[in-house]
Amino acid sequence: MKKLTLFASIAITVFLFAFTVVTNTEWTNDKAHTKVGFSITHLMISDVEGSFKNAIIKLTSTKEDFTDAEVEFSAEAASISTDNEKRDAHLQSPDFFDVAKFPTLTFKSTSFKKAKEANTYIVKGNLSMHGVTKPVTLNAVAKTGVNPMSKKTVAGFKITGTVLRSDFGIGGSMPTAMISDEVQISANAEFSKN
């Protein structure tokens, strides 16, 4: 009986040490060093750039190399800015984002995998805007370091990709000769490790 009890105790101890508790590390977004931008081609000759001023980005990961990272993003559609008030008002109207009806854009990652080049990742997830949700694939380049002022570990991400406005029913009355269907995403986000 004593041998059985001793064996059970050893087995339980080995089991507990074999399975360590893994917790998600949350990263706090540094909004002062973050910009969620985009560009679209006007009249097939020049690019117009814009961004969303009010955005929230949440990053969690259990691994130092971010291969299991999860990203959640939301932005107020009404915070769209192209440095032109008249154009911004038009983009907020039912002709484009219809912000009164669809006030928020969201993205939630479904995978965050390393690509061939160092510090690069393929990020897949679901983008929702204008009442439509579609899967999208983005590219990310990550760099990490230590902030000399706060002494905290920091990470910076440059995110790029392309989405089609027609996939989301945005600006359907505008022909591609006026503004391109392709919208280039270019975002930079900085985070500090909690």
Q: Is residue 74 part of a domain?
A: yes
CA dihedral 34, 79, 72, 69 (to 10 degrees): -20
- Work out how many domains the chain is built from and give that number: 1
Over residues 72-86, the mean pLDDT reads 98
Are 183 and 163 in contact, with CB atoms under 8 Å apart? yes
Beta pairing class for 132-146 and 153-164: antiparallel
Domain-embedded: residue 13: no
Domain with 51 in it: 24-193
- pLDDT for the residue numbered 1: 52
pTM to 2 decimals?
A: 0.85
Task: Indicate which CATH number applies to the domain containing 58.
Answer: 2.40.128.110
Q: Is the dihedral of CA 98, 100, 101, 106 positive or negative?
A: positive
Q: What angle do CA 44, 47, 49 make, to 5 degrees?
A: 150
